[in-house]
Amino acid sequence: MGSGMARNLLHAGHELAVFNRSREKSQVFEAEGARVARSLADACNGAEAAVTMLSDDRAVEEVAFGEGGLASALESGATHISGSTISTALVRRLASEHAARGQGFLSAPVFGRPDAAAQGKLLVVAAGAPELVERYRPVFDAIGRQTFVAGLEPWQANALKLCGNFMIASMLEAFGEGYATLRKAGVDVQVFLDAMNALFASPVYANYGRLIAEDRFEPAGFALALGQKDMRLLLETAQECVSPMPLASLLRDHMLEGLAQGQAHMDWSSVACVAARGAGL
Amino acid sequence: MGSGMARNLLHAGHELAVFNRSREKSQVFEAEGARVARSLADACNGAEAAVTMLSDDRAVEEVAFGEGGLASALESGATHISGSTISTALVRRLASEHAARGQGFLSAPVFGRPDAAAQGKLLVVAAGAPELVERYRPVFDAIGRQTFVAGLEPWQANALKLCGNFMIASMLEAFGEGYATLRKAGVDVQVFLDAMNALFASPVYANYGRLIAEDRFEPAGFALALGQKDMRLLLETAQECVSPMPLASLLRDHMLEGLAQGQAHMDWSSVACVAARGAGL
Amino acid sequence: MGSGMARNLLHAGHELAVFNRSREKSQVFEAEGARVARSLADACNGAEAAVTMLSDDRAVEEVAFGEGGLASALESGATHISGSTISTALVRRLASEHAARGQGFLSAPVFGRPDAAAQGKLLVVAAGAPELVERYRPVFDAIGRQTFVAGLEPWQANALKLCGNFMIASMLEAFGEGYATLRKAGVDVQVFLDAMNALFASPVYANYGRLIAEDRFEPAGFALALGQKDMRLLLETAQECVSPMPLASLLRDHMLEGLAQGQAHMDWSSVACVAARGAGL
Amino acid sequence: MGSGMARNLLHAGHELAVFNRSREKSQVFEAEGARVARSLADACNGAEAAVTMLSDDRAVEEVAFGEGGLASALESGATHISGSTISTALVRRLASEHAARGQGFLSAPVFGRPDAAAQGKLLVVAAGAPELVERYRPVFDAIGRQTFVAGLEPWQANALKLCGNFMIASMLEAFGEGYATLRKAGVDVQVFLDAMNALFASPVYANYGRLIAEDRFEPAGFALALGQKDMRLLLETAQECVSPMPLASLLRDHMLEGLAQGQAHMDWSSVACVAARGAGL
């Protein structure tokens, strides 16, 4: 994800320093005009904003609060823009810790897979102080095709993002259960998928419906382990909001069953295997 | 539904006799070239095929097996085309009873609301003996924009249709739970809907997402009582196939809760109210 | 079940005619003082009451409404006492059809396995017209250790019975999920069972908890196929009552998954295998 | 809980120092022979073991790791015995932090309400190094009627305890759904409860079944907010063990719905209200 975003920021004319633990990953950007930073602190040196895109709470905590992390390295008045899909609790902590240091903070998770990131076609969900959102809109415009402002509190962007992943996961489960029953009914699931494509006319249904119909779960576009994590994060947010989400619980449990069956590295659409196994397929 | 279908059959040049319990409903078709039948038997007189479109198993049983019903009135060699979304068990009974009388039988339930029927834009899901499906394809072409052949057994069309309604109902539930949590999180659900429209790019999401965001459940396009019935029928089919569908169970239960709260006549998208109430909204 | 009940009726001094499709099964009762009937009609001849104990709706329908069945064979004024755990819908039909013929009808399903039946220790749940319940109380006293009167409508006894089986099934599922997690946590489930026995002090927990801890699902005391049927019947009754039962839905689905995995003939406590498999055990 | 345990430790002849934030609560024990400590540090002074019984993770974290907490105040070689029902993650942290300071650690959560604590009739679930479990067995014997050893790892005691609460909660939900359906069926739930008492013969069923039948949810013996917390903790443990528990998810969600409806302070048996409301009662 980060590569595509970095390239689009460069193409949009932004001055960019890149940092990655494995220096080789950063190196390729040198030729494209980026400065390769030697450390997080070096990357933050003189920066107006630091954009992070990491896989989970632990990684973000380390980058933000670890030794030499953003909280200490970012200059006062500079802003941390967090693109990671992480817990709303951590986002609240990021907001308050950065504020305590005179730093700005925006949360801006995105919808879209690596290929969308490469084409600058991500959907950006931003939240935070309106003046910050406006100031960094050129960043969002560079990496995405549309930006949605979720609210004044950074964590609201993550609540929205997690609910979006929940909408997709609901569709995956529905395909899984529908296909399982139709297979046992002797109906060709391809005919069902054709009908669903005519009905929903959505590329998301077309893509995932095909992956599941063809049992094509590797390589993963988005790993089941990450999808399961997102359903857990959503349920934590729902708990904070005192809002029961029984369908999200079902998805979390089925994805956990997938992990117990060794599917952690497969695409999250492989949650459909759980319904298939349940039906004895 | 029936009116739109009848009109499109007339426009396509088919010779048509119409019958409805309330004679006035039939009368309007006289001016458009249809013959108004005095009874089911009269409607079947000389007919090559009889198309039925009724609301539930009970209505179909009466029309097919009641006194003067299709089973006795249809001529040998003529075909009953059932467009109703009914149980797979009843479809199997219809198939065998008609066969025993030398009559043909096709099941051809449709996706689409009355306005789609009026415009001939239904999606038709047909199943039965291939030669019958081919013989009556002009009928399907007249009423729908696309026809999907689900299998050799008429009940397979109903299995597919019920799974399609299940896909839509899953989306309704997901919107309901997502909106409930986002409302409690202080996020504007319209922003969420905009993001989902950008993500899924599906008119089905756009329409239902808007109805639920605006709490516009009346008049019903498809009543909750009928949606609940379909989830029950699907679970009966899944039982026959020995295929567990926990998400369908959740939908059936939430819709039943809606009925217990007096929402039977509201649109089935009002299943979203159950999640909202659960969150104390 | 029937053998134990028959013997206890004889021991209590009732005059008894027995009928079973396989004559040998009846023969053994001759030595104990029963009359062996040649047919259902013969069994009903001169009888004050006919007690049936059958496995499902289909069997009861045949015995009651089939050729030479109870509806035609029972004398006016005599009573059909149905001990079967069947659908509330069928019980209502039995009540009305017998009433139309001037025959009485009581529903009296029982809790208890064959050994409890042999010892006259069943729990009887009776419902119907109070004067009939009182008239046949000696029958209930002969077969059971306690009689509970569920209401004026015979089907209410079945509603209560199904809810009782639901209470047991809930415990089975809870043991299944608890054991699965504890096994993966490296905790000896026997220690957990000891603690639950100290906590609940219930022989039902002790017995089923041990069966599940030891994976002893054969021979079945009560087959999973029958348990699954009861959860289905309960959900049908709940649907009639417009009362959602999400836990009953979960049980029905898990038991269905057990059937899909070939456990139909195992004890219904083998529903615990579903949770174990889900955890990768 | 703490009062009863303290008194039973005194009666068993143990030397006891008590500490409570509100000094008056401690004072009453002075007359019974306890020393009233001025601080946690003072309570730990010279102590062989420190027993804590607190309501949640936060309280335990503060007492263990806060300024002047057990981790710093306990002497090397002394043991922290944690009786609280807390997360397995926190128990693991307690074990490792105490070990790093040369202190012992045992987890020993208990089953039983305050009246059982007063009578020394708790069920104690202990886990940790066998030599420590044996050394402190007199403590467990003083406060409980039976001790169960869950394993070598302290957190295993909490896993077992959480599963025990899950067994009770499953019963509460089953009563809730059963009563709701039976009420709508016009069946007297007291008759159902009588039958369940005859069937299960368990005081736990008798007590909770009566509370729910009579809608007597205040004062709470164990608050719904705490019950909901335990279901969450259990699901966290199940996640660590990669073991899906759909019934626990259902319980967590229903209890959360109870919280959203303002039942946080009511007894956890009030989860039954959720099923009742769902049925329109």
pLDDT (tens digit per residue) in C120-166: 999 999 999 999 999 999 999 999 999 999 999 999 999 999 999 99
Averaged confidence pLDDT in chain C: 96
DSSP string, D83-95: -S---HHHHHHHH
Other Cβ atoms less than 10 A from the Cβ of B32: the count is 12
| Per-residue confidence (pLDDT) for residue C85, from 0 to 100 | 97
Provide the ipTM.
0.96
Does C95 have pLDDT greater than 90?
yes
Question: pTM here?
Answer: 0.96
User: Which among C30, D242, D237 is positioned nearest to D252, based on CA atoms?
Assistant: D237
Alpha carbon of A242: minimum distance to chain B alpha carbons (Å): 6
CB–CB of A268/A173 below 8 Å?
no
| Per-residue confidence (pLDDT) for residue B25, from 0 to 100 | 81
Alpha carbon of B79: minimum distance to chain A alpha carbons (Å): 23
The reply to whether residue A279 touches residue C262, judged by beta carbons under 8 angstroms, is no
* CB-based contacts of D175, cutoff 8 Å, min separation 6: C167, D208, D209, D212, D269, D272
| Per-residue confidence (pLDDT) for residue C216, from 0 to 100 | 97
Share of chain D above pLDDT 70, in %: 100
Which band of pLDDT confidence, cut at 50, 70 and 90, is reported for residue D2? confident
Q: Quick: pLDDT tens for B172-214.
A: 999 999 999 999 999 999 999 999 999 999 999 999 999 999 9
Tokens of A254: 């089925």
Tokens of B143: 């009423």
| Per-residue confidence (pLDDT) for residue D240, from 0 to 100 | 98
N- to C-terminal Cα distance for chain D? Answer: 35
CA angle A269, A271, A276 (to 5 degrees): 115
Cα D64 to Cα D42: distance, rounded to the nearest angstrom: 14
Residues of chain C found within 8 Å of residue B249, distances taken between Cβ atoms: 246, 249-250, 252-253
The reply to whether residue C253 touches residue B254, judged by beta carbons under 8 angstroms, is no
Rounded to the nearest 5 percent, the helix, strand and coil shares of chain A are 55, 10, 30
3-state secondary structure of C129: coil
Query: Mean pLDDT across the stretch D228-256?
Result: 98
Residues of chain D found within 8 Å of residue A243, distances taken between Cβ atoms: 256, 260
3-state secondary structure of D166: helix
| Per-residue confidence (pLDDT) for residue D113, from 0 to 100 | 87
Chain A partners (3+ C-beta pairs within 8 A): B, C, D
* CB-based contacts of C149, cutoff 8 Å, min separation 6: C126, C127, C133, D191
| Per-residue confidence (pLDDT) for residue A21, from 0 to 100 | 80
Chain D partners (3+ C-beta pairs within 8 A): A, B, C
Does A43 have pLDDT greater than 90?
yes
| Per-residue confidence (pLDDT) for residue D140, from 0 to 100 | 98
Query: Mean pLDDT across the stretch D52-74?
Result: 95
Q: Quick: pLDDT tens for A158-169.
A: 999 999 999 999
Q: Quick: pLDDT tens for A52-80.
A: 999 999 999 999 999 999 999 999 999 99
Q: Quick: pLDDT tens for A177-196.
A: 999 999 999 999 999 999 99
Q: Quick: pLDDT tens for A207-220.
A: 999 999 999 999 99
Half-sphere exposure of A48 (CA within 13 A, CB side): 8
The dihedral formed by the CA atoms of C102, C107, C113 and C117, expressed in degrees to the nearest 10: -50
- More confident position, C30 or B152: B152
| Per-residue confidence (pLDDT) for residue D7, from 0 to 100 | 94
Three-state SS annotation for D105-133: EEECCEECCHHHHHCCCEEEEEECCHHHH
- DSSP code at position A187: -
User: Which among D129, D123, D69 is positioned nearest to D99, based on CA atoms?
Assistant: D129
Alpha carbon of B244: minimum distance to chain C alpha carbons (Å): 5
Walk me through the domains of chain B, giving residue ranges and CATH numbers.
Answer: 2-152 (3.40.50.720), 159-278 (1.10.1040.10)
Does C232 have pLDDT greater than 90?
yes
Query: Mean pLDDT across the stretch B239-254?
Result: 98
| Per-residue confidence (pLDDT) for residue A190, from 0 to 100 | 98
Tokens of B221: 């396009």
The reply to whether residue A244 touches residue D250, judged by beta carbons under 8 angstroms, is no
Tokens of C254: 């898990």
Cα D264 to Cα D256: distance, rounded to the nearest angstrom: 9
| Per-residue confidence (pLDDT) for residue A88, from 0 to 100 | 98
- DSSP code at position A106: E
Does D22 have pLDDT greater than 90?
no
Which residue in this structure is represented by tokens 């196994």?
A: A277
Query: Mean pLDDT across the stretch D265-281?
Result: 98
Half-sphere exposure of B146 (CA within 13 A, CB side): 13
Between positions 220 and 279 of B, the ones with CB within 8 A of C are 232, 238-239, 242-246, 249-250, 252-254, 256-257, 259-260
Query: Mean pLDDT across the stretch B51-64?
Result: 95
Cα A270 to Cα A218: distance, rounded to the nearest angstrom: 9
Q: Quick: pLDDT tens for D117-145.
A: 999 999 999 999 999 999 999 999 999 99
Share of chain D above pLDDT 90, in %: 93
Between positions 89 and 128 of D, the ones with CB within 8 A of C are 111, 123, 125
Which band of pLDDT confidence, cut at 50, 70 and 90, is reported for residue A113? confident
Mutate to test the interface with D, among A228, A234, A253 (most CBs of D within 10 A): A253
| Per-residue confidence (pLDDT) for residue A24, from 0 to 100 | 82
User: Which among C93, C100, C55 is positioned nearest to C74, based on CA atoms?
Assistant: C100
* CB-based contacts of B194, cutoff 8 Å, min separation 6: A148
Task: Give me the phi and psi of A75, to 5 degrees please.
Answer: -75, 155
Mutate to test the interface with C, among B239, B243, B245 (most CBs of C within 10 A): B239
